[in-house]
């Protein structure tokens, strides 16, 4: 099939676009508002976009259930720091729970049933139960073309200042995906867990 995104004339019951770009890693983002209240939410429009310097992006798109921008974005405007907590299979229900449209002042660590752990270089807390965290400082909030529900989409660009890895995840000097059990988003309500790994050295030229 072929369809044009301008008209979405795919003829399918659901827009297939997100099922066509997969898997999408999930950044489970913690932030603090200006009053020091913590917030936690998953974002699958998320990725590492540069190693040197170490840069990540995530995209809070569309409105909060109570209107206006999503809390993660509002918080970053008040306190320009965030933590990326690794989304893992054992935390899948907590991750999903933290995406519910909680009221603005609801602490989503509590709502999702996870524990706050102090960060080293930034003020937002980490999810203690997650085995890997990236402590980040905000570089830029980039407004994207278009809007959903009257609110523009945004891309948050952050610089990774510090990385926590549970030592149990390190085998023979490598952070091992078999141990991390990271999850990712597919289309619709589908997820994948990274549990089939193969190794392929890069080609060399002479």
Ligand X SMILES: Cc1cc2nc3c(=O)[nH]c(=O)nc-3n(C[C@H](O)[C@H](O)[C@H](O)COP(=O)(O)O)c2cc1C
Q: Which of 34, 36, 68, 101 binds ligand X (CB under 6 A)?
A: 101
Minimal distance in Å, beta carbon 71 to ligand X?
3
Alpha-carbon distance 143 to 170, whole Å?
A: 38
Applying the rule CB under 6 A, the residues between 144 and 203 that interact with ligand X are 185
- Asked if residue 186 has a cis previous peptide bond (ω within 30° of 0), the answer is no
Determine the size of the site formed for ligand X (CB under 6 A).
19
Q: Work out whether 84 is an interface residue with ligand X (CB under 6 A).
A: no
Alpha-carbon distance 68 to 57, whole Å?
A: 21
Nearer to ligand X, 9 or 113 (CB): 113
Q: In this structure, what token pair is assigned to residue 139?
A: 């570089």
For 9, counting Cβ atoms within 10 Å of its Cβ (0-12 exposed, 13-18 middle, 19+ buried), the class is exposed
Minimal distance in Å, beta carbon 137 to ligand X?
18
Q: Name the helix (H) or strand (E) containing 50.
A: strand 46-50
Site string for ligand X, 114-143 (x = CB under 6 A): ------------------------------
Specify whether the CB–CB gap between 98 and 112 falls below 8 A: yes
Minimal distance in Å, beta carbon 133 to ligand X?
18
Q: Work out whether 26 is an interface residue with ligand X (CB under 6 A).
A: yes
Nearer to ligand X, 30 or 199 (CB): 30
Specify whether the CB–CB gap between 91 and 114 falls below 8 A: yes
Interface residues toward ligand X, by CB under 6 A: 26, 39, 41-45, 59-62, 64, 70-72, 96, 99, 101, 185
């Amino acid at each position: 099939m072929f369809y044009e995104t301008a008209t979405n004339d795919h003829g399918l019951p659901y827009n297939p676009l997100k099922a066509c770009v997969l898997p999408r890693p999930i950044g489970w983002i913690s932030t603090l508002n200006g009053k020091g209240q913590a917030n936690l939410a998953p974002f699958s429009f998320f990725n590492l976009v540069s190693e040197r310097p170490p840069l990540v992006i995530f995209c809070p798109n569309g409105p909060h259930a109570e209107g206006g921008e999503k809390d993660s974005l509002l918080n970053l405007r008040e306190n320009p720091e965030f933590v990326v907590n690794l989304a893992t299979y054992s935390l899948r229900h907590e991750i999903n729970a933290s995406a519910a449209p909680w009221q603005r002042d609801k602490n989503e660590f509590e709502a999702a049933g996870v524990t706050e752990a102090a960060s080293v270089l930034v003020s937002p807390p980490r999810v203690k139960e997650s085995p890997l965290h990236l402590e980040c400082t905000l570089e830029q909030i980039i407004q994207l073309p278009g809007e959903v529900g009257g609110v523009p989409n945004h891309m948050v660009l952050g610089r990774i200042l510090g990385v926590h890895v549970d030592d149990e995840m390190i085998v023979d000097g490598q952070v091992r995906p078999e141990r991390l059990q990271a999850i990712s988003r597919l289309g619709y309500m589908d997820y994948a867990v990274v549990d089939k790994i193969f190794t392929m050295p890069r080609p060399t030229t002479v």
